[in-house]
Amino acid sequence: MEIPWVETYRPKTFNDIVSQNIAINNLKEFVRNRNMPHMIFTGPAGTGKTSTALIIAKHFLKEEELDTNLLELNASDTVRIDFVRNVLKNFVNQSLIKNGSLKFVILDEADNIPGTVQQALRRIIEKTSNNIKFILLCNYINRIIDPIISRCAVFRFVSLPKEKIIDRLKYIVTKEKLKIPSDKSEQFFNHLFFISGGDLRKAINTLQMAVALELLENLDINEILRISGFLDEKTLNSLISVLKKKDFMSSKEIFDSIEILDSRNFIRQISEVLPSLKIEPINLVNLKTYIGEIDYRISQGADEKMQISALLATIIEYIQI
């Protein structure tokens, strides 16, 4: 099987990391002074947190030390604190720590670690020797308990801007010697960016999938939208037109006919077209607040179809004919 491009093109040095200038410049300073604090990297998915953590660890460790001096744990490994204690204890004791040689613990998805386990982790972090550095990775820092935050230097990773994502995609296109029909190239990259929502991993994966499915030759953008769980342009346009007519039943019919439904993508697409509908500015604000609630409910496991139906009905209610 082909190696995923997100791995092939994972940044190997600080200079390969796109954007994130504030975080990277500060990190470079810590690295230069060989004075590492415990760290938290927080920010949206696919913005370079894991890549940066690995770059730091590899900066201090030789290839042959990676097995013994780098421990990567996932939130699902940390559900039971006795397991965490054992793993960490083994890690610390494994091979005597030579003078000054650092060890790194990378805790991925730290915001999914239960609060009680975080409390125990905090004591472990306090007690470990100076040679062990924790790097916690998370999307939502408000889910990390304060006592941990206050023991770490926090670095914020931001969503990548459109031109940076497109530049990186073009770089990969060149490296992989891909042929993209020039008349559709701009539209193609714009859509890859739209699909990614600022997540470079998603952008790269979508590009690779389009290649694997041989969609590049004729470059059918609608097919790429569909396989990524978005409405193609035709369906989106018919949806807009029935919404404008305040025709709830037809809007629901269109919605029910979607084969691959990703409700959160659907919400993103709908949000983007709202300004083109005839809705009072104050109601547009109300709608956006409501959309935020719906998105949250779905993320918490509420019934997607029910939530989207309610959303369509609410949009129709606000539309002026």
Ligand X SMILES: Nc1ncnc2c1ncn2[C@@H]1O[C@H](COP(=O)(O)OP(=O)(O)OP(=O)(O)O)[C@@H](O)[C@H]1O
Name the residues that contact ligand X, by CB under 6 A: 6, 9-11, 16-20, 45-51, 137, 139, 200-201, 204
Choice between 24 and 315, CB closer to Mg ion: 24
Give the one entry of ligand X, Mg ion, none that residue 200 binds, where binding means its C-beta sits below a cut-off of 5 to 8 angstroms depending on kind. Answer: ligand X
Give the one entry of Mg ion, ligand X, none that residue 265 binds, where binding means its C-beta sits below a cut-off of 5 to 8 angstroms depending on kind. Answer: none
Choice between 152 and 258, CB closer to Mg ion: 152
Which of 10, 11, 38, 50 is close enough to bind Mg ion by CB under 5 A? 50
**Length of the chain, please?**
321
Size of the site for Mg ion (CB under 5 A): 2
How far apart (Å, rounded) are the C-alpha atoms in residues 61 and 284? 53
**Angle formed by the axes of helices 263-273 and 304-318, nearest 10°:** 10
For the bound state, the minimum distance from the C-beta of residue 48 to Mg ion, rounded and expressed in Å, comes to 9
For the bound state, the minimum distance from the C-beta of residue 63 to ligand X, rounded and expressed in Å, comes to 20
**Angle formed by the axes of helices 81-93 and 115-127, nearest 10°:** 20
Choice between 48 and 219, CB closer to ligand X: 48
- Which residue in this structure is represented by tokens 């989207």? 308
For position 112 contacting Mg ion by CB under 5 A, the verdict is no
Q: Which one-letter DSSP state was computed for residue 214?
A: T
12, 13, 14, 15 alpha-carbon torsion, rounded to 10°: -100
For the bound state, the minimum distance from the C-beta of residue 82 to ligand X, rounded and expressed in Å, comes to 26
Please choose, out of 49-57, 164-172, 178-186, 269-277, the segment that lies near Mg ion by the rule CB under 5 A: 49-57
What secondary structure does DSSP assign to 33-73, as a single string? TT---EEEEE-STTSSHHHHHHHHHHHHS-GGGHHHHEEEE
What is the binding site for Mg ion (CB under 5 A)? 49-50
